[in-house]
Amino acid sequence: MRSLWKLATAALLITMATPALAQGAATATIVVQQPWARATPAGAGTGAVHMTLVNKSGSADRLTGASSDDAPTVQIHEMSVVNGVMRMRQLANGLLIPAGGTVALKPGSYHVMLIGLKKPLTAGQTLPLTLVFEKAGNISVTVPIQAMGAEQDKGGGMGNMEMK
C-alpha cells in the first residue's frame, strides 16, 4: 500500500515536471521527452518526428503505432546509412522500450514517420501526435517543428537543447 502511494506521488511529480506526458494512460509509465520534428521542403509527402522515450516502469513496453491529424498514415521506422546506402525499415513489431530504459528516436536512427502530410511541417509551428504503447496506452504530445537544419551540427544536440 505504501509503495502504491510512492508510485502515485512519483507519477504526480513526473506529470508536473514534464509537460509532454501520458494523458489518458492509467499510470505515467512512459515519459516522452523533447519531441521535435524538422521542417519539410515544399510539397514533401513525408516527415519524421524525433523524441526520447523513458520507461519508468518495471516492465518492458512497446511503441506500436502513432497517429496525427496532420497525416493519414504514421509509422515507426528505423533508418540507417551503411556503406553509403540509406536504408529505411518499418518496425512491424513496434519499438521496444526496456524496463527502466531509455530509447532515443533521433536522426539517423528510429523515428516516427509521417506519411501523406496534409501540409508541410513549418518551423515555429507544432504538430499533434498520439503515440500508442502496448501497456502505457495512448500518449498525446505536441511536437514543436524546428528549422530544416536543426541538429545539423555534428557535435551538438541543437534540437534537444532548444527543447529544454
**Rule CB under 8 A: which residues touch other proteins?**
38, 40-48, 73, 75, 77, 79, 81, 83-90, 92, 107-108, 111, 113-115, 148-149, 152, 154
Residue 41 or residue 101: which is nearer to other proteins going by CB? Answer: 41
Q: Pick from 128, 113, 139, 145: which is nearest to 15 by CA? A: 139
Q: From CA 112, how far away is CA 155, in angstroms rounded?
A: 23
Residue 1 or residue 86: which is nearer to other proteins going by CB? Answer: 86
Q: How far is the CB of 89 from other proteins (least distance, A)?
A: 7
Q: How far is the CB of 50 from other proteins (least distance, A)?
A: 10
Q: From CA 112, how far away is CA 49, in angstroms rounded?
A: 5
Residue 21 or residue 105: which is nearer to other proteins going by CB? Answer: 105
Residue 22 or residue 150: which is nearer to other proteins going by CB? Answer: 150
Residue 2, CA distances (Å) to 27, 85, 112, 127 in order: 16, 54, 38, 39
Residue 82, CA distances (Å) to 1, 48, 88 in order: 51, 20, 11
Q: How far is the CB of 158 from other proteins (least distance, A)?
A: 14
Q: How far is the CB of 106 from other proteins (least distance, A)?
A: 10
Residue 55 or residue 146: which is nearer to other proteins going by CB? Answer: 146
Q: How far is the CB of 39 from other proteins (least distance, A)?
A: 9
Q: From CA 71, how far away is CA 128, in angstroms rounded?
A: 10
The total of other beta-carbon atoms located within 10 Å of residue 45's CB is 11
Place of cell 509509465: 29
